């Protein structure tokens, strides 16, 4: 049984259909990619899964239970963590305190130790005492990741986590994600860096105009004509990247 | 039967004026996303102007009315839109709330300067001629009021639904850029809306004025009724706003009818005063009930903050400053003499009260326009004493550890009760709700003998403990209280709860996805902040010895917030300076005091609503001065990274606008 099941979700904003009957699963301990051109509805789907956006219709199941009507906070307590594409770091706290406060909010014992471990693990040691509002975007994204990890989620949703990272940092990041999956965490990742997604994920779902147009292993998705059409129609840069990587 | 018809007619007429005022409010809010707390103040100002030209200058009505409604009011609306509101459309609610509150205070200050207090009356149109319909007489003025309201309703309907300008106006708030691409001019449209909104406020004021003597605050706060009506339409729907206004008008008048039908013995009793207060607070109660009926606010993605807090002083530095401050004031007060020591002590009460705002507004990013009500409750605890009925256990009316503890517990409890419903909603409603509640507390609690001070203007007295009798010693007690409470606030800020508080302020959405309920934190902070204000109230009572209802008049919570914000509500030093300036201005000539509010408003505008304020700014600059012992600094300051922009919350659509 899949850990997360998204079932026929629709989201309408007035006349705009942001998500149009999307369905997909995320299995336990797997790294799953969610790809799609700009405006495809990826972030909206994340908001639906975490409860920040009420879907017009459809359901979300987590660990076998229907959580469609559950409040965001309860979903987080149930083991769903996330980062945000448009940053939501605690800007007036230092990077270290961002992590510590997450542990404190959850009443985890020894929050300082959680902070120190995660600072090292995510590679933020040098920024520990810098205010989160004044660090570069990439660092702020890692801060959000570390903050989410402080609550030890079973499922982690990452919305474009690598944008703003240098190449070296991206490699470190990929290693970190793999090690998290090895520990049994499930990871759903939205990423524009095609190379990174193809290298990292065991399954990829491609979203276009709010619907899943293709699902499968990286190789299957790359070979899918519909995927290439979608990208050629919307986002030439990503399409080129897709070809370069070997479609 | 006669009574019923009469009160119904008056109710509809009063409701009609509310509807006119409320529609102006909705119009400006819908086109610029700024809720104008000063809407009533604009109406008040224009009504005074109307009095000036029509009564004082003797212009005929048919010249005076078009002048005020067609020229002066729209000009003022355009000006406000140009210099103020346009910058606020994308701002955080708390900032636009503070700025428009600043405008409100400034308008009252200016009005008081131009038209010093005196009895002024505005005549009804057509000298109060009336027509009889069988059993009821309806005056020409009442007919006109109803007719005007209908005309306004019809006119706005046609404007918004049947004209291109109106359609564009409705779209402007959703997407300024998009509209601009289509060739419309968003600034022109919102300018038009503000011009129209000001005229409507003026119209409502002029229609209402004959029933009252002209008075700055009464007219300004009559719009609490307009707020209440607008809230029925959720600040969007004009038809619902009109219905709300009429219902409220009727409710108020039926209540008046019921009230005057009560037996005389009840009316004159102490309890009668409370009923009287409740009757006069009906618009407020109505507003609060409407707010309770609003659905829980959805979580917003898009962080609120954007201002960096000033650097926290380390413990040794904070303690050193505290010692310097205490010793310094001790030496100074030793030189002063009783009269000046009493003035100094009274001025020091204001920073003490403002400390409660540092926690709530500065760190927490919430807002309260009722801090002085909590102060008033603290005063009452100190001045009335407290005994558990029937047991004799309690304490005498005196400043003592017991009264301080009781004041803290009592006001914190009341603060928590207030916060639970208010904090379900957005900052805007918290501002409105606390202001409305403060007005109600004035009437139902403070202005009654049973629960408060007694009739409006009555005083209560508090005793100082024996060892703090002298003016110097009590002034020093206030100083020490400020230092101790300031250090307490600092220690909260430095600890776990301080971090949680800032996190709550920075991103509620992130807190939720970490599994944390921000509501509990916000309620707790509101309660502690109320408690601190209550404690300040005990010292306030001891310092003033005799406190009147005017000293805790709810309106005074507004300048309190303004001074704190301008000088820096995010730091202890900011409120110390701000509070002292506010306190000392009280001894300056009235004109200076009145015009200080204008300077204050300019200050807020220049600071762009930055809550670190003047003091924060000075510290920030001072920190840049290279000093021999300052080496290196943070890596961020040395190396300019491309950083993300935190001040973009307003640019993001709220989640769940489907
Ligand atoms: N709160 C909202 N109100 C109205 N429309 C919205 C809202 N949020 C998203 N949309 C619209 O829904 C569609 C999907 O947006 P979403 O942010 O989910 O896309 P995305 O796949 O994350 O795109 P990107 O790659 O640019 O992040 C877009 O057309 C967007 O304009
Ligand atoms: Mg997105």
CB-CB under 8 Å, B643 with A137? yes
| Residue A75 reports pLDDT greater than 50 | yes
Contact B305 A11 (CB under 8 A): no
Contact A149, A138 (CB under 8 A): no
At residue A71, what are phi and psi to the nearest 5 degrees? -70, 150
Flag whether A69 is in a domain.
Answer: no
Tokens coding B415: 């603060």
Give the per-residue pLDDT at B475. 94
Tokens 């404007």: give the residue.
B159
| Residue with token string 């209280």 | B481
Mean pLDDT, residues B48-58 taken together: 92
Which ipTM value was assigned to this complex? 0.90
Which residue out of A40, A49, A84 has the highest number of ligand 1 atoms within 8 Å of its CB and is therefore the one to mutate?
A: A40
Read off the pLDDT band of B513 (50, 70, 90): very high
SS3 state of residue B326: helix
Fold of B2-261: ABC transporter involved in vitamin B12 uptake, BtuC (1.10.3470)
The residue of chain A nearest to residue B656, with distances taken between CA atoms, is A53
Residue A123 lies in a domain: yes
pLDDT category of residue B656 using cuts at 50, 70 and 90 = very low
Least CB–CB distance from A73: residue in B302, B309, B517: B517
Which of B247-251, B262-266, B587-591 has the largest mean confidence? Answer: B247-251
Q: What are B424's two structure tokens?
A: 């379900």
Closest partner CB to A81 (pick from B499, B513, B634)? B513
pLDDT digits (tens, 9 = 90+) for B109-166: 899 889 888 878 777 776 667 777 666 777 888 888 888 888 988 888 888 878 887 7
Model pLDDT, residue B651:
31
pLDDT at res. B107: 92
Q: Is residue A227 part of a domain?
A: no
Name the minimum distance, in Å, from the CA of A11 to any CA of chain B. Answer: 8
- Residue A8: what pLDDT? 93
Ligand 1 binding pocket mutation candidate from A6, A9, A13 (most atoms within 8 A of CB): A13
Write out pLDDT tens, residues B342-393.
999 999 999 999 999 999 988 888 888 999 999 999 999 999 887 777 777 7
Within-domain flag for A131: yes
Cα Rg for chain B, rounded, in angstroms?
Answer: 26
Average pLDDT, chain A: 89
Establish if A111 belongs to a structural domain. yes
A207 falls within a domain: no
Total of domains in chain A = 1
Q: Do A129 and B492 meet the contact criterion of CB atoms below 8 Å apart? A: no
Residue B621 has pLDDT above 80, yes or no: no
Give pLDDT, residue B595. 79
Mean pLDDT of A99-103: 95
DSSP reduced 3-state for B424: coil
Is residue A99 in some structural domain?
yes
pLDDT in tens, B60-101: 988 999 999 999 999 999 999 988 888 777 777 777 888 888
pLDDT tens, position by position, A161-172: 988 888 888 999
- Note whether A73 contacts B515, CB cutoff 8 Å: yes
Average pLDDT over every residue of B401-406: 91
Q: Is the pLDDT of residue A1 over 60?
A: yes
Owner of token pair 């102007």: B49
3-state helix, strand, coil in chain A (%, to 5): 45, 25, 30
- Does the CB atom of residue A199 touch ligand 1 within 6 A? no
Domain spans of chain B? 2-261, 315-652
Q: Does B655 touch chain A (CB under 8 A)?
A: yes
Would you state the pLDDT for residue B31? 82
pLDDT of B6 reads 83
pTM of the model: 0.86
Residue span of the structural domain in which A144 resides:
88-152
Please tell me the residue having the least CA distance from ligand 1 atom 3: A13
B653 close to ligand 1 (CB < 6 Angstrom): yes
Calpha distance A197→A174 (Å, rounded): 9
User: Higher model confidence: residue B539 or residue B226?
Assistant: B539
Q: What is the mean pLDDT of chain B?
A: 83
């Amino acid at each position: 049984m899949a850990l997360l099941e998204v079932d026929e979700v629709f989201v309408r904003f007035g006349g705009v259909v942001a998500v149009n009957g999307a369905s997909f699963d995320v299995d336990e301990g797997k790294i799953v990619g969610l790809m799609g051109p700009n405006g495809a509805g990826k972030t909206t789907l994340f908001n639906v899964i975490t409860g920040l956006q009420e879907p017009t219709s459809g359901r979300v199941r987590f660990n076998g239970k229907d959580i469609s009507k559950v409040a965001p906070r309860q979903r987080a307590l149930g083991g769903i963590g996330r980062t945000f594409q448009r940053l939501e770091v605690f800007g007036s706290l230092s990077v270290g305190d961002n992590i510590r406060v997450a542990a404190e909010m959850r009443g985890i014992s020894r929050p300082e130790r959680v902070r120190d471990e995660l600072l090292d693990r995510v590679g933020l040691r040098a920024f520990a005492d810098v205010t989160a509002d004044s660090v570069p975007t990439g660092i702020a994204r890692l801060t959000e990741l570390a903050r989410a990890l402080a609550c030890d989620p079973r499922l982690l949703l990452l919305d474009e986590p690598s944008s703003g990272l240098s190449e070296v940092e991206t490699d470190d990041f990929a290693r970190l994600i793999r090690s998290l999956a090895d520990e049994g965490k499930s990871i759903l990742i939205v990423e524009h860096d095609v190379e990174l997604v193809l290298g990292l994920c065991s399954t990829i779902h491609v979203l276009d105009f709010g619907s899943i147009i293709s699902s499968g292993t990286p190789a299957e998705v790359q070979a899918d004509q519909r995927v290439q059409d979608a990208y050629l129609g919307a986002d030439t840069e990503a399409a080129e990247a897709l070809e370069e990587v070997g479609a | 039967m006669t009574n019923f018809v009469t009160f119904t007619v008056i109710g509809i007429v009063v409701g009609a004026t509310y509807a006119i005022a409320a529609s102006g409010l909705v119009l400006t809010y819908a086109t610029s996303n700024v809720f104008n707390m000063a809407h009533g103040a604009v109406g008040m100002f224009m009504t005074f102007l109307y009095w000036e030209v029509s009564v004082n200058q003797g212009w005929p009505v048919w010249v005076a009315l078009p002048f005020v409604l067609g020229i002066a009011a729209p000009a003022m609306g355009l000006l406000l839109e140009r210099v103020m509101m346009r910058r606020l459309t994308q701002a955080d609610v708390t900032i636009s709330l503070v700025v428009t509150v600043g405008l409100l205070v400034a308008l009252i200050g200016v009005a008081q300067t131009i038209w010093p207090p005196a009895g002024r009356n505005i005549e009804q149109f057509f000298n109060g001629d009336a027509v009889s319909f069988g059993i009821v007489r309806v005056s020409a003025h009442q007919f006109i009021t109803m007719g005007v309201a209908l005309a306004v309703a019809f006119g706005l309907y046609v404007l918004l639904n049947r004209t291109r300008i109106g359609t564009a106006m409705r779209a402007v708030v959703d997407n300024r850029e998009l509209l601009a691409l289509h060739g419309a001019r968003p600034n022109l449209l919102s300018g038009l809306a503000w011009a129209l909104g000001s005229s409507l406020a003026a119209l409502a004021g002029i229609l209402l004025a004959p029933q009252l003597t002209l008075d700055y605050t009464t007219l300004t706060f009559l719009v609490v009724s307009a707020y209440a009506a607008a809230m029925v339409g959720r600040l969007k729907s004009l038809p619902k706003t009109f219905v709300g206004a009429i219902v409220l008008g009727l409710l108020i008048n039926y209540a008046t009818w019921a009230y005057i039908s009560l037996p005389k013995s009840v009316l004159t009793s102490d309890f009668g005063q409370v009923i009287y207060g409740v009757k006069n607070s009906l618009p407020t109660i109505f507003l609060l009930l409407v707010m309770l009926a609003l659905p829980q606010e959805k979580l917003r993605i898009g962080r609120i903050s954007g201002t960096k807090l000033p650097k926290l002083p380390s413990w040794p530095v904070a303690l050193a400053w505290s010692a310097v401050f205490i010793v310094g004031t001790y030496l100074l007060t030793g030189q002063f003499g009783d009269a000046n020591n009493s003035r100094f002590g009274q001025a020091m009460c204001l920073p003490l009260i403002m400390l409660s705002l540092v926690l709530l507004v500065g760190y927490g990013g919430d807002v309260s326009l009722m801090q002085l009500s909590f102060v008033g409750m603290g005063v009452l605890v100190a001045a009335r004493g407290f005994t558990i009925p029937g047991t004799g256990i309690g304490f005498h009316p005196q400043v003592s550890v017991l009264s301080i503890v009781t004041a803290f517990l009592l006001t914190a409890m009341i603060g928590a009760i207030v916060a639970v419903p208010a904090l379900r909603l957005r900052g805007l409603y918290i501002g409105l709700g606390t202001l409305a509640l403060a007005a109600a507390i004035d009437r139902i609690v403070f202005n009654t003998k049973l629960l408060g001070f007694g009739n409006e203007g009555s005083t209560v007295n508090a005793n100082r403990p024996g060892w703090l009798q002298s003016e110097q010693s009590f002034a020093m007690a206030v100083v020490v209280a400020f230092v101790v409470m300031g250090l307490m606030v600092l220690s909260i800020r430095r600890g776990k709860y301080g971090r949680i508080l800032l996190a709550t302020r920075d991103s509620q959405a992130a807190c939720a996805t970490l599994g944390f309920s921000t509501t509990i934190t916000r309620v707790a902070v509101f309660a502690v902040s109320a408690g601190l204000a209550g404690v300040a109230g005990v010292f306030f009572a001891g310092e003033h010895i005799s406190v009147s209802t005017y000293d805790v008049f709810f309106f005074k919570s507004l300048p309190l917030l303004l001074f704190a914000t301008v000088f820096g509500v995010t730091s202890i030093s900011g409120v110390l300076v701000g509070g002292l300036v506010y306190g000392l201005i009280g001894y300056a000539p009235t004109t200076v005091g009145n015009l200080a509010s204008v300077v204050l408003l300019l200050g807020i505008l220049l600071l762009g609503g930055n809550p670190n304020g003047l003091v924060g700014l000075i510290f920030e600059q001072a920190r840049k001065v290279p000093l021999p012992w300052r080496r290196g600094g943070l890596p961020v300051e040395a190396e300019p990274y491309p950083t993300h922009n935190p001040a973009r919350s307003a640019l993001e659509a709220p989640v769940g606008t489907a």
